[in-house]
C-alpha cells in the first residue's frame, strides 16, 4: 500500500528538532526560540550556532564560533579562475550552483561524511565561504575586481564590504544597513522541510558530500515559486508601476484562466501573516528611511497592494498573506543589490539551515536513502515491434 500525495501536502519526510512552524498561528521557532526574539536581540552567527548545535551560545562559545567562522572566509585562489570561465552576463545563481558544487573538488580533507569532525569542518567552511562566493559572483557580473574578506569585521559587514567596496576607495559599513542585512539573514536561515531543504536532504540521503548537497539546494531554491520569488516580486511591482494599475493585476491574479499570480503572496504552510514578513516590513521602512527612499514608488505600490489584498474576499478566503519575499526585494534593491542577486542572498542565509538539516539527517540512526514511490499511469506491458513493422 502506498499513499499518493503530490506536493507532499500531508506527508512528513523526516523527524526534526530544528525548526517549528505553526502556519495557522503565523509562528516560526528556531530550536524553540521565536523568530521575533532572535531577529530583534541576536545576530546571524548566533542563529547559525543555535541551528547547528541546538542551544544558544554562551559568551565564550559565541566568541570562539565567530572567530572560527571568520577564519574560514577565504576561498582557494583557483576559485577566481573557475569564475572567469563564466560569461559576464551569467545569472549569479548559475554561478553559485556551479561554484558551490565545485567546492567539493577543493576541500577533500573534510568530505568523509561518517566523520563528525569532517562534518563540522565542512559546515563551518560552507557558512564562512558562502558570502565570499556570493560577492565574487556579484563582482564578476559587474566587471569589478574581487575583494578579499576582512576577518576583523563582522560576518555581515564583511559581506557588504566584499560586495560594495572598490580597491581605490575606503568603504565604511553603515551600521543600520549591516543590522538590516543581518536580520534578513536571520529571517531566511531555516524554514523546515521546504523544497530546497528537502532537496538537500534527498541528495544527502545517498551519501553525497555536503558541498554537492548544498549545490542541489541552491538549484532548487532558484525557482520562482521558492527563493526566486523575491526577484519575481520586485519585477511584478515594477511592472505594476503605479497604485492605479493595481486593480487590473488583482483581477488577473483571481482569473483562473490567467497564469498570473501575485508574487510574494501565499505560502504552503502559513495560512496567516508570515511572521518573517512582519519583521521584514519593519526593516524595509528602516532602510528606506535611512537611504531617503521613503517616497519610492515601488514601496507605495507594495503598501497599496498589501492593503487591497488584505481586504479582498479572494485573498481572505484563500488565506493569502504577504510572505517574506514581498518585502525583501524592495529592501535589497534600496541597499544597492541588483535583482539577480536577491536569490543568492537567500541562498547565503539558508546555507546554515541546509547544513543543520543535512547534519541532523546523517546523525539520525533511522536515516535511509530517500526513495519516493510513484503512481504509474503509463502503458501496460507490451511486445517490442521491429522498426520495419511499425505503422
Which positions from 2 through 21 interact with ligand CMC, judged by CB under 6 A? Answer: 7
Q: Judge whether 188 and 324 are in contact, CB under 8 Å.
A: yes
Site mask for ligand CMC (CB under 6 A), range 231-270, x = bound: ----------------------x-------xxxxxxxx--
Given the complex with ligand CMC, which of 159 and 265 has the nearer CB atom? Answer: 265
Write down the least CB distance from residue 199 to ligand CMC, Å: 12
SS3 letters for 121-163? Answer: HHHHHHHHHHHHHHHHHHHHHCCCCCCCCCCCCCHHHHHHHHH
- Our finding on whether 352 is near ligand CMC (CB under 6 A) is no
**76 carries an active-site annotation:** no
Cα gap 145→14, rounded to integer Å:
43
Site mask for ligand CMC (CB under 6 A), range 192-221, x = bound: --x---------------------------
Q: Which residue is nearest to ligand CMC (CB)?
A: 266
**91 carries an active-site annotation:** no
Strand partners, 20: 29
Which positions from 115 through 174 interact with ligand CMC, judged by CB under 6 A? Answer: none
Site mask for ligand CMC (CB under 6 A), range 78-97, x = bound: --------------------
Type and span of the H or E element at 33:
strand 33-34
Q: Where are the alpha helices (H) located in the chain, listed in sequence order?
A: 35-41, 44-53, 59-70, 78-83, 92-102, 116-141, 155-164, 175-188, 195-205, 210-221, 229-240, 246-254, 275-290, 297-311, 313-317, 324-335, 342-362
Cα gap 345→341, rounded to integer Å:
6
Given the complex with ligand CMC, which of 149 and 228 has the nearer CB atom? Answer: 228
Given the complex with ligand CMC, which of 103 and 345 has the nearer CB atom? Answer: 345
Strand partners, 6: none
Given the complex with ligand CMC, which of 28 and 361 has the nearer CB atom? Answer: 28
CA atoms within 13 A on the CB side of 27: 9
Write down the least CB distance from residue 109 to ligand CMC, Å: 33
Cα gap 56→48, rounded to integer Å:
9
Given the complex with ligand CMC, which of 171 and 273 has the nearer CB atom? Answer: 273
- Our finding on whether 348 is near ligand CMC (CB under 6 A) is no
Write down the least CB distance from residue 324 to ligand CMC, Å: 6
User: Which residues here bind ligand CMC, judged by CB under 6 A?
Assistant: 7, 194, 225-227, 229, 253, 261-268, 318, 320, 323-325
Catalytic residues: 267, 325
Amino acid at each position: 500500500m502506498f499513499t499518493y500525495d503530490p506536493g507532499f501536502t500531508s506527508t512528513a519526510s523526516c523527524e526534526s528538532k530544528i525548526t517549528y512552524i505553526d502556519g495557522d498561528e503565523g509562528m516560526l521557532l528556531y530550536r524553540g526560540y521565536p523568530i521575533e526574539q532572535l531577529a530583534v536581540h541576536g545576530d546571524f552567527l548566533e542563529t547559525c550556532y543555535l541551528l547547528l548545535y541546538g542551544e544558544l551560545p554562551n559568551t565564550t562559545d559565541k566568541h570562539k564560533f565567530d572567530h572560527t567562522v571568520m577564519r574560514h572566509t577565504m576561498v582557494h585562489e583557483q576559485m577566481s579562475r573557475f569564475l572567469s570561465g563564466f560569461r559576464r552576463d551569467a545569472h549569479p545563481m548559475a554561478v553559485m550552483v556551479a561554484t558551490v558544487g565545485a567546492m567539493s573538488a577543493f576541500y577533500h580533507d573534510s568530505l568523509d561524511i561518517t566523520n563528525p569532525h569532517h562534518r563540522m569542518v565542512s559546515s563551518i567552511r560552507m557558512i564562512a565561504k558562502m558570502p565570499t562566493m556570493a560577492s565574487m559572483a556579484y563582482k564578476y557580473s559587474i566587471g569589478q575586481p574581487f575583494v578579499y574578506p576582512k576577518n576583523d569585521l563582522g560576518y555581515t559587514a564583511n559581506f557588504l564590504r566584499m560586495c560594495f567596496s572598490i580597491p581605490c576607495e575606503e568603504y565604511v559599513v553603515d551600521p543600520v544597513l549591516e543590522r538590516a542585512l543581518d536580520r534578513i539573514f536571520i529571517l531566511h536561515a531555516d524554514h523546515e522541510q521546504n523544497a530546497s531543504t528537502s532537496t538537500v536532504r534527498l541528495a544527502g540521503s545517498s551519501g553525497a558530500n555536503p558541498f554537492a548537497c548544498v549545490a542541489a539546494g541552491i538549484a532548487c531554491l532558484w525557482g520562482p515559486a521558492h527563493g526566486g520569488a523575491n526577484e519575481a516580486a520586485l519585477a511584478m511591482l515594477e511592472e505594476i508601476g503605479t497604485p492605479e494599475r493595481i486593480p487590473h493585476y488583482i483581477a488577473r491574479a483571481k482569473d483562473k484562466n490567467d497564469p498570473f499570480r501575485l508574487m510574494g503572496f501565499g505560502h504552503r504552510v502559513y495560512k496567516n501573516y508570515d511572521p518573517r514578513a512582519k519583521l521584514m516590513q519593519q526593516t524595509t521602512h528602516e532602510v528606506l528611511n535611512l537611504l531617503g527612499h521613503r517616497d519610492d514608488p515601488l514601496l507605495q505600490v507594495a503598501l497599496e497592494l498589501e492593503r487591497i489584498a488584505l481586504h479582498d474576499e479572494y485573498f481572505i478566503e484563500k488565506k493569502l498573506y504577504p510572505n517574506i519575499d514581498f518585502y525583501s526585494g524592495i529592501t535589497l534593491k534600496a541597499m544597492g543589490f541588483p535583482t539577480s542577486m536577491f536569490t543568492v542572498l537567500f541562498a547565503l542565509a539558508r546555507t546554515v539551515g541546509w547544513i543543520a538539516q543535512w547534519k541532523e539527517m546523517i546523525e539520525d540512526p533511522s536515516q535511509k536513502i530517500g526513495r519516493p514511490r510513484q503512481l504509474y499511469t503509463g502503458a501496460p506491458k507490451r511486445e517490442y515491434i521491429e522498426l520495419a513493422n511499425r505503422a
